[in-house]
Amino acid sequence: MSRSSIKVITELAVFAAIAIVLDKITLFTMPQGGSVSLVMLPILLVALRHGWRLGVLAGLIVGLVQLFFGGYFLNVFQVFLDYGLAYAGVGLGGAFAQAFTRKPKISYLLGASLLGGGCRLLGSFLAGVIFYADYAPKGIPVWLYSLTYNASYMIPSIVLCASLLVVIYKARPEFFRK
């Protein structure tokens, strides 16, 4: 194994560990799960530095570790949506990595945050519609309840992560180069 691949694997592991720690530091937590935290920031950093493939891997690692440290297991499909798809989807923000490293623009950071956060929202939304329909108040469509519930903590998390990506970029633009 080459020195550069060991360096990338180590970086991925360190950023995944940081994501797990940041997930435990929450601004607020929702009653049936979900919270505003910076868990997506390290995943997006990996994705923007190394591309969407390693970003998806970092997200998948974070999701699986979260499951083992207090995650909720209903069935395999719920775990896939809430932990696999949701967190691996954050790594898809790395689709902006190549354009960003060639021609750095803040709009690419915002696009990566929206794409990654949107994928996480999609996974949680689908899990809410399929597995947590009982929580929807009577008279409110399940899809609307799931969307508003998950968006209520996901949108602040996306805005917070996007803002911090911009701050990090302005302070250390060289960090985003491999």
For the domain that residue 142 is a member of, what is the CATH number? 1.10.1760.20
Tokens 């891997």 correspond to 57
How high is the pLDDT of residue 102? 79
Q: Which residues contact 12 (CB under 8 A, 6 or more apart)?
A: 46, 50, 54, 57, 58, 61
- Which residue carries 């602040």 as its tokens? 156
Mean pLDDT of the 13-19 span: 96
Q: Pull the structure tokens for residue 84.
A: 């696999």
Helix (H, G, I), strand (E, B) or coil at 35: strand
Q: How many domains does the chain have?
A: 1
Q: What is the pLDDT of residues 143-161, one digit of tens each?
A: 999 999 999 999 999 999 9
Residue 53 token pair: 């493939």
- pLDDT tens by residue, 50-84: 999 999 999 999 999 998 887 778 888 999 999 99
Q: Mean pLDDT score of the chain, rounded to an integer?
A: 92
**Could you list the residue range(s) of the whole structural domain that residue 150 is in?**
3-176
Mean pLDDT of 43-56: 96
Percentage, residues of the chain above pLDDT 90:
76
The percent of residues above 70 in pLDDT, for the chain, comes to: 99
How far apart CA 40 and CA 52 sit, in angstroms, is 14
DSSP at 93: G
The pLDDT of residue 2: 77
Residue 129 exposure: Cα atoms within 13 Å on the Cβ side: 11
- What confidence score (pLDDT) does residue 55 get? 97
CB 44 within 8 A of CB 90: yes
Closest CA to 16 of 54, 52, 53: 54
pLDDT of residue 101: 76
Sequence-separated (6 or more) residues with CB below 8 Å from residue 121: 150, 151, 154, 158
At 29 the pLDDT is 84
Cβ–Cβ under 8 Å, residues 85 and 124: no
